[in-house]
Amino acid sequence: MKPVFSAIQNGFRNCLDLKAQASRTDFWLFFLTFTLLFFAAFGADVSYVQQPATIAAVPQFLADLFNAQTPFSRLYLLLFTLPMISFAVRRIYDSERPSWAGMAAVVPFLSMALIVL
C-alpha cells in the first residue's frame, strides 16, 4: 500500500515540474489509481439521483458543479487530469522517446475531459 501512496504523492507533488523523474512503477501505480477512481466517480454519478440543497456559503462554481448531471466525474477530472498528463509526459521523456510522443500521450486525457465536461 505504501508504494501506491508514494506514487500518488509523487504525481501531485511533481505535476508542474516536467524535469522530474517518473519511474515505470510510479507511473503505472498512478495510472491504476487514476482509472479506479474514475470508475468510482462514474459510479457515484450514476447513483447520485437527488438534487443537493444550495448552500449560501459555497462558491457559485462549486454549486454549479454539483447541480450538473456528472458532478463527481467533473470534480475528479478537475483534480486528476493535470497530474496524469504531467506523469505521462515525464514518463515519455524518461524513456528516451522523441518530444512529439509526449503530445500523443496527452490527447486521450484531453479528449476524456472534453467528453465529460
pLDDT at 117: 57
HSE of 81 in the Cβ direction (CA atoms, 13 Å)? 17
SS (H, E, C) the chain: CHHHHHHHHHHHHCCCCCCCCCCHHHHHHHHHHHHHHHHHHHHHHHHCCCCCCCCCCCCHHHHHHHCCCCHHHHHHHHHHHHHHHHHHHHHHHHCCCCCHHHHHHHHHHHHHHHHHC
pLDDT at 21: 77
16-52: per-residue pLDDT in tens?
877 777 788 888 888 888 889 888 888 887 777 555 5
pLDDT of residue 67 exceeding 70? no
CA distance 97 to 22: 14
Which pLDDT band, with edges at 50, 70 and 90, does 61 fall under?
low
Residue 70 cell numbers, joined? 456528472
CA distance 94 to 20: 9
Stronger pLDDT, 62 or 70, i.e. the higher one? 70
| Domain boundaries along the sequence of the chain | 2-116
78-112: per-residue pLDDT in tens?
888 888 878 877 777 777 777 677 667 667 766 76
